[in-house]
């Protein structure tokens, strides 16, 4: 097991599969941006090893609250600094989301993610970039567009239109303040819901099962899907 120098994630692997477990930290998004070079190195390693499956285990507490704090801090910057300079952190954050998504989609591996807690729609884009998603049954996906007037970042709108079609995506974005894990499963946004206490073990079991698949066949399927 290897932890990143920034304390953002730990990385471990064995034959055919890799686990990247992100730590639950109060400044998760800021920490991720500061550690962007580490994330690039991590994805370079994942591409070189060509694992059959990569399991991204995201934190199990409220990501929505953390993003709300980040938005408030950005708003303070907007009020106290010149406009162009104040916008830079927001631009960097969006670019960080999009680079993460691009690297996930570019991996030849099947990418599995596990999510729990209150998940902001901005983070939903990262989850939807993965190939297989397992959610804790008490998790909620919160529409911050309706809650705080902040449009979803991280390609969430693009993924929602791709998964649901423009009409259903628009209805969800305009009328639904939150989705339960069961709602998300019915819509096909997650493939499985499990009790929160079983989330990590369910992710590990699925990763072991996927790791037994032929790597070349998984890579071909991934190219066709993406």
* Element holding 208 (H helix, E strand): helix 199-211
Instruction: Look at residue 6 in the predicted model and tell me its pLDDT.
Output: 56
Structure tokens at 164: 């649901």
Question: How is residue 22 annotated by DSSP?
Answer: E
Question: How is residue 138 annotated by DSSP?
Answer: T
The residue that leads in pLDDT, 20 or 6, is 20
Distance, CA of 80 to CA of 83 (rounded, Å): 9
Contacts within 8 Å (CB) and 24+ apart, 184-192: 184/135, 184/141, 185/135, 187/163, 188/163, 188/164, 189/124, 189/127, 189/128, 189/133, 189/141, 189/163, 190/115, 190/127, 190/133, 190/134, 190/135, 191/132, 191/133, 191/134, 192/133, 192/134, 192/135
Distance, CA of 134 to CA of 137 (rounded, Å): 9
Residue with tokens 């009328």: 175
In what side-by-side order are the strands of the sheet with 110-115?
A: 2-3, 9-14, 17-22, 53-57, 110-115, 132-136, 192-194
DSSP conformation letters of 161-204 = HHHH-HHHHHHHHHH-SEEEHHHHHHHTS-SEEE-GGGHHHHHH
Q: What digits encode the pLDDT tens for the residues 22-75?
A: 776 544 444 444 556 677 788 888 888 889 999 999 875 544 455 455 555 655
27's CB contacts (< 8 A; 6+ apart) are 66, 70
Q: What digits encode the pLDDT tens for the residues 187-226?
A: 999 999 999 999 989 999 999 999 999 989 988 988 888 8
Distance, CA of 51 to CA of 16 (rounded, Å): 5
Q: What digits encode the pLDDT tens for the residues 105-153?
A: 989 999 999 998 888 787 788 889 999 999 999 998 888 776 666 666 6
Structure tokens at 29: 């998004």
Instruction: Look at residue 17 in the predicted model and tell me its pLDDT.
Output: 93
- At residue 72, φ and ψ (nearest 5 deg) are -60, -40
Contact 199, 205 (CB under 8 A): no
- Quick one: average pLDDT of 78-85? 55
Instruction: Look at residue 101 in the predicted model and tell me its pLDDT.
Output: 86
Structure tokens at 154: 């991280």
């Amino acid at each position: 097991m290897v932890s990143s120098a920034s304390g953002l994630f730990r990385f471990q692997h064995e034959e055919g599969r890799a686990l990247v477990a992100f730590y639950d930290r109060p400044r998760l998004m800021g920490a991720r941006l500061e550690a962007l070079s580490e994330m690039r190195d991590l994805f370079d390693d994942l591409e070189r090893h060509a694992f059959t499956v990569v399991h991204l285990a995201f934190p199990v507490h409220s990501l929505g609250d953390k993003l709300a704090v980040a938005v408030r801090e950005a708003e303070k910057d907007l009020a106290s600094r010149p406009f162009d300079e104040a916008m830079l952190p927001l631009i960097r954050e969006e670019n960080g989301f999009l680079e993460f998504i691009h690297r996930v989609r570019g991996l030849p591996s099947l990418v599995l993610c596990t999510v729990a807690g209150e998940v902001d729609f901005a983070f939903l884009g990262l989850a939807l970039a993965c190939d297989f998603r397992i959610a804790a049954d008490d998790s909620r996906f919160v529409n911050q567009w309706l809650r705080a007037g902040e449009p979803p970042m991280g390609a969430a709108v693009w993924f929602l239109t791709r998964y649901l079609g423009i009409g259903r995506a628009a209805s969800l974005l305009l009328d639904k303040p939150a989705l339960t894990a069961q709602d998300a499963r019915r819509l096909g946004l997650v493939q499985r819901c499990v009790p929160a206490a079983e989330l990590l073990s369910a992710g590990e079991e699925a990763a072991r099962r996927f790791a037994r698949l032929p790597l070349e066949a998984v890579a071909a399927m991934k190219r066709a899907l993406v």
